Amino acid sequence: MHSLPGVENIEAFRAWRADPSQCLPAALDIARSHGLPHADPQLFSNGTNLVVALDDRLILKIFPPLLRHQFVSERASLSQLRGRLSVPIPEIVLEGERDQWPYLVITRLDGVVGTQAWPMLPEDQKERVLGQIGETIAEVQRVPIGELSGVEPRWPEFIARQIAGCRARHERLGLPQKYLDGLDHLLRDAAELIPVDAPPVILTGEYIPENFLLSGESGTWRLAGLIDFGDVMTGWKEYDLLGPSAFMTAGMPRRVDRLLRGFGYSWADINSTLKRRLMALMLLHRASDPVRHICIEGWQQKAADLFELQELLWPV
């Protein structure tokens, strides 16, 4: 039996995962122990955990002990959402644990990962897919939260913690001073604008190209699957609009319109209050890094402050 190592921090885990001679034998030994195919494995380098395609049907996902919370979220999310969405998601085939490392074997979905397909799509197809993403976010959020109600962090505590650490985070990540100058005012608004006692919904926090699959036929592209539910929590619904807004809409009015209308918002809903709340949520997101994530070319020259930036991001 191949043992899994004791890793003291995320850096040590990443170093181990990056070396196939170390991580792959343990993964294949787990596959053998369950009688699963493993003759032609594919090690995925992206993502947070150790992910190995055992063949064209099965994925083995192994979580280090320090990321056990992601295993809990992934398992609970896939169970709660199973059979309730029109877009495919992986199904759990089995689960287990070795050396305090939990793991899941899940089905492998068909399609092209969004990071590969999205840049190649014609503009009309990008608008089409963004509408489908908006619809899918809303569909996920209509599913009862079930046992996900116990997943940490809880929304009120999460928002309070994010507000408290927001300035330090963005100073560290190099947000330009002209935006830092308006941050305290925005955070005061956030405390009033962001609901903390509304009925919570399921949030993946990561509707971004690397976490969905696309399929194209005769020039028409569609959303073909959602993957990676390790960061799921529950909370205010608009939090899940931030991934597409940063990585995909590019401040283009028709793209923004398709996303928000797919989500279920009308023209009347898209007002200055919504934009201000979305701006606050974008800076409070657990993965927030505008300097590296906002996909609008030259946005720092186009927006003089946070008010202009929200209009640049959501120009409808």
- Tell me if 232 is assigned to some domain: yes
Give the CATH number for residue 141.
3.90.1200.10
Q: What is the mean pLDDT of residues 141-161?
A: 96
Distance CA 143, CA 176 (A): 39
Distance CA 299, CA 316 (A): 17
- Tell me if 278 is assigned to some domain: yes
Query: Is the pLDDT at 119 greater than 80, yes or no?
Result: yes
Residue at which a domain ends, from 78, 107, 136: 107
Query: Is the pLDDT at 173 greater than 80, yes or no?
Result: yes
How many residues are present in the chain?
Answer: 316
The domain containing residue 15 runs over which residues?
A: 10-107
What was the pLDDT predicted at 262?
98
- Tell me if 1 is assigned to some domain: no
Residues 162 and 249 occupy one common structural domain: yes
Residue at which a domain ends, from 73, 107, 141: 107
Residues 272 and 169 occupy one common structural domain: yes
Residues 167 and 304 occupy one common structural domain: yes
- Tell me if 147 is assigned to some domain: yes
CB 233 within 8 A of CB 118: no
Per-residue confidence at 315, pLDDT binned at 50, 70, 90?
very high
Residues 140 and 222 occupy one common structural domain: yes
Give the CATH number for residue 70.
3.30.200.20
3-state SS, 262-316, equals: HHCCCHHHCCHHHHHHHHHHHHHCCCCCHHHHCCCCCHHHHCCCHHHHHHHHCCC
Here the tokens at position 201 are 């919904």
Query: Is the pLDDT at 47 greater than 90, yes or no?
Result: no
What was the pLDDT predicted at 70?
96
Cβ-based neighbour number of residue 151 at 10 Å: 18
Q: 164 by DSSP, 3-state: which?
A: helix
One-letter amino acid for residue 126 of the chain? K
Distance CA 32, CA 105 (A): 12
Here the tokens at position 17 are 């995962």
Residues 226 and 100 occupy one common structural domain: no
Residues 70 and 219 occupy one common structural domain: no
What was the pLDDT predicted at 45?
82
- Tell me if 4 is assigned to some domain: no
The number of helices, as runs of H, and strands, as runs of E, in the chain is 14, 10
Query: Is the pLDDT at 179 greater than 80, yes or no?
Result: yes
- Tell me if 3 is assigned to some domain: no
Residue at which a domain ends, from 63, 85, 107: 107
Structurally, how many domains does the chain consist of?
2
Distance CA 284, CA 287 (A): 8
pLDDT digits (tens, 9 = 90+) for 249-295: 999 999 999 999 999 999 889 999 999 999 999 999 999 999 999 99
Query: Is the pLDDT at 71 greater than 90, yes or no?
Result: yes
Distance CA 68, CA 95 (A): 13
Residues 41 and 190 occupy one common structural domain: no
Distance CA 8, CA 6 (A): 6
